[in-house]
């Protein structure tokens, strides 16, 4: 039986599998907490993007921050993707995974001079620039090494993506992008700087977006600007529409990538912009539902007010519930034969009341059971920390019947290897 919304995770007999691998076997081999990713699920998520854009100039730049494991990056590099990066560290990861720097776009509000130089030297495709001050510095850095940096300006279209405030980025009050009203002036400024070459325009309005209207509104606002900028004599080659497409964690019903892109293409056509090259920067929608976090139940602590199910994964391993009160599905890796008797708060060992993975969940549990936190492929391991001196989880990539350890568990010695008691 496949889990709804998770076609690559299914019960075979009574055991939850990732593709052809039992999560219990993987937990025995690699211990818990353990991130398990399905290669086929990632490729299946990429497919609707590729098919909707087939036959037209485009580049799908996987947003590295969603999951930056080298093996995950390699899956997307081999599938022909480019990458959206936000640091020199992410650039190094992309190169180490065999990614093509000519397909890399560099986003982020606070690039350092060293990162700018590193990215120009690597030959990235484009800098998504977020302020006028950044334009000046980037031009200076490029001139100092005798190069011109390709730029697109990230404009803030001031549309409401209707998502969690911490992951909304396209509203006036956000720190991201150049205000719509300032964008033309910023382009004129960029076109006069000696170290820059205007290549395109960019916007990214937020994350976990489950409706199409915010995208269409943002596209309209961006096209208004493109028309004004080109009328001022600055050609705009590509449109980068960012990432942000949501996934189903519980009962959300986001549009599929091909449905969304179909609508965007129609709008481009009707406004006479069908010829433009399109870039997208999807993260979550490519990897979110391709991963689970497997954790073992340590203790049950029923009480008068609340029943706590204490597991060996914590907020340091998976921060989303603590940080955004995000709902993540949680299932027992062994299909229950009895109805759940109690409602549990699934919590970790970290010393914070905010350390929870799920609240008020009806799930049948016993100490020693394995639980799978679903939809944990995006912003799970990439946001993990060592809080409470906990080593980060191991990561496994499954492909059919085979499972590769793609990051081994950290040892305690590694956690303090850079320190010395003085
Ligand atoms: N492009 C830019 C410029 C971004 O800032 C982001 C995400 C993306 C692309 C990819 O967005 P996606 O397709 O993954 O929605 N930690 C949060 C999400 C933060 C998103 C930050 N920017 C979470 O766990 O929900």
Q: Tell how far the Cα of 139 is from the centroid of ligand 1, in angstroms.
A: 27
Is 351 a catalytic site residue? Answer: yes
| Token pair recorded at residue 290 | 């391709």
With a Cβ cut-off of 6 Å, ligand 1 is lined by 63, 66, 84, 107, 167, 204, 207-208, 242-245, 281-285, 320, 324, 378-379
- In DSSP terms, 245 is beta-bridged to 209
Q: What is the pLDDT of residues 271-325, one digit of tens each?
A: 999 999 999 999 999 999 999 999 999 999 998 899 999 999 999 999 999 999 9
Ligand 1 nearest-atom number relative to CA 379: 24
Mean pLDDT by 10 residues, the chain (422 residues): 87 97 98 98 98 97 98 98 98 98 97 98 98 97 98 91 70 81 96 98 96 96 97 98 97 97 98 96 98 98 94 98 97 86 94 96 95 98 98 98 98 95 92
Ligand 1 nearest-atom number relative to CA 319: 24
The DSSP symbol for 159 reads -
In the chain the first and final C-alpha atoms are separated, in Å, by 57
- In DSSP terms, 203 is beta-bridged to none
Is the link from the previous residue into 201 a cis peptide, with omega within 30 of 0? Answer: no
Phi-psi category of residue 55: left, alpha or beta, with phi > 0 → left and psi -120 to 50 → alpha: left
Ligand 1 nearest-atom number relative to CA 209: 15
Cβ pair 388, 351 in contact under 8 A = yes
Q: Which of 249, 259, 276 is nearest to 379 (CA)?
A: 249
- Give the pLDDT score at 166: 67
Pocket-testing residue among 243, 250, 320, 380, ligand 1, by greatest number of atoms within 8 A of Cβ: 243
Ligand 1 nearest-atom number relative to CA 378: 24
Pocket-testing residue among 177, 202, 207, 357, ligand 1, by greatest number of atoms within 8 A of Cβ: 207
Q: Tell how far the Cα of 240 is from the centroid of ligand 1, in angstroms.
A: 14
- Give the pLDDT score at 134: 97
Cβ pair 370, 24 in contact under 8 A = yes
Domains of the chain: 2-38+288-415 (2.40.37.10), 107-282 (3.20.20.10)
- Choose, from 21, 203, 333, 351, the residue flagged as catalytic: 351
Cβ pair 326, 288 in contact under 8 A = no
Q: Tell how far the Cα of 75 is from the centroid of ligand 1, in angstroms.
A: 19
Look at residue 294 and give its three-state secondary structure: strand
Stated pTM of the model: 0.97
Q: Tell how far the Cα of 66 is from the centroid of ligand 1, in angstroms.
A: 7
- Give the pLDDT score at 171: 66
Q: What is the pLDDT of residues 168-201, one digit of tens each?
A: 666 677 778 899 999 999 999 999 999 999 999 9
- Give the pLDDT score at 170: 63
Q: Tell how far the Cα of 169 is from the centroid of ligand 1, in angstroms.
A: 9
What is the Cα–Cα distance from 38 to 44, expressed in whole angstroms? Answer: 10
């Amino acid at each position: 039986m496949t889990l709804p919304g998770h076609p690559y995770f299914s019960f075979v007999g009574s055991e939850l599998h990732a593709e052809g691998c039992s999560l219990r076997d993987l937990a025995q081999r690699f211990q818990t907490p353990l991130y398990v990713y399905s290669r086929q699920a990632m490729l299946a998520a990429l497919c609707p993007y590729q098919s909707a854009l087939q036959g037209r100039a485009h580049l799908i730049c996987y947003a590295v921050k969603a999951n930056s494991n080298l093996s995950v990056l390699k899956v997307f590099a081999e599938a022909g993707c480019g990458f959206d990066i936000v640091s020199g560290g992410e650039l190094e990861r992309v190169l180490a995974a065999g990614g093509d720097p000519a397909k890399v776009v560099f986003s982020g509000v606070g690039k350092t001079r060293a990162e700018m130089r590193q990215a120009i030297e690597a030959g990235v495709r484009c800098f998504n620039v977020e302020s006028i001050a950044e334009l000046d510095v980037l031009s200076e850095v490029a001139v100092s090494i005798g190069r011109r940096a390709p730029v697109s300006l990230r404009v803030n279209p001031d549309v409401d993506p209707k998502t969690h405030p911490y992951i909304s980025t396209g509203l006036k009050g956000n720190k991201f992008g150049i205000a719509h009203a300032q964008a033309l002036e910023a382009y004129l400024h960029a076109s006069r700087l000696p170290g820059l070459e205007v290549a395109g325009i960019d916007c990214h309005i937020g994350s976990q977006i489950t409706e199409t209207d915010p995208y269409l509104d943002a596209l309209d606002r961006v096209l208004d600007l493109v028309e004004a900028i080109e009328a001022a004599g600055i050609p705009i080659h590509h449109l980068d529409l960012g990432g942000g497409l949501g996934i189903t964690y519980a009962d959300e019903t986001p549009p599929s990538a091909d449905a969304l892109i179909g609508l965007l293409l129609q709008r481009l056509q009707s406004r006479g912009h069908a010829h433009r090259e399109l870039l997208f920067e999807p993260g979550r929608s490519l990897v979110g539902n391709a991963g689970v976090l497997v954790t073992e139940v340590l203790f049950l602590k029923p009480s008068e007010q609340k029943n706590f199910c204490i597991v060996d994964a914590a907020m340091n391993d998976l921060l989303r519930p603590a940080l955004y009160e995000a709902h993540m599905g949680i299932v027992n890796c062994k299909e229950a034969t009895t109805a759940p008797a109690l409602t549990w708060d699934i919590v970790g060992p970290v010393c914070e009341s905010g350390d929870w993975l799920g609240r008020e969940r009806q799930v049948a549990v016993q100490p020693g059971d394995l639980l799978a936190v679903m939809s944990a492929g995006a912003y799970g391991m990439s946001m993990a920390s060592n809080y409470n001196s906990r080593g980060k989880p191991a990561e496994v990539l499954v492909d059919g019947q085979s499972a590769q350890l793609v990051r081994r568990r950290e040892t305690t010695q590694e956690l303090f290897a850079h320190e010395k008691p003085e």
